[in-house]
Amino acid sequence: EKRDAIIKIGGMTCAMCVKTIEVALKELPGVLDAQVNLATEKAKVSYDPSLVSIEDIKRAIEEVGYQFLGVE
Ligand code: 9UX
């Protein structure tokens, strides 16, 4: 199964922040793709909910130092 989530992220300042979060998310087993947009402060994450949860995604964002501000 594949699901898409739009996640609001806080604390990003530059393009390297974007890359850091994208890499952290893509390292999670079950995350198929992650695209982070600095201007909108949102991430589009495609994931398999049988392998990874929103809670796992939240933890990964927080572990690299950014804020998980919720799912749209
Ligand atoms: Mo850029 Mo982001 O110098 O934490 S990597 S601000």
Domain range for 46 is 3-71
Give just the sign of the alpha carbon dihedral 58, 21, 41, 67.
positive
Full-model pTM: 0.96
CA distance 17 to 1: 29
Residue pLDDT, tens place only, 10-49: 999 999 999 999 999 999 999 999 999 999 999 999 999 9
Tally of structural domains, the chain: 1
Q: For this complex, say whether ipTM is above 0.85.
A: yes
Atom of ligand 1 nearest to the CA of 65: 4
Atom 4 of ligand 1: nearest residue by CA position: 17
Residue 54: CB within 6 Å of ligand 1?
no
User: What is the CATH classification number for the domain harbouring 45?
Assistant: 3.30.70.100
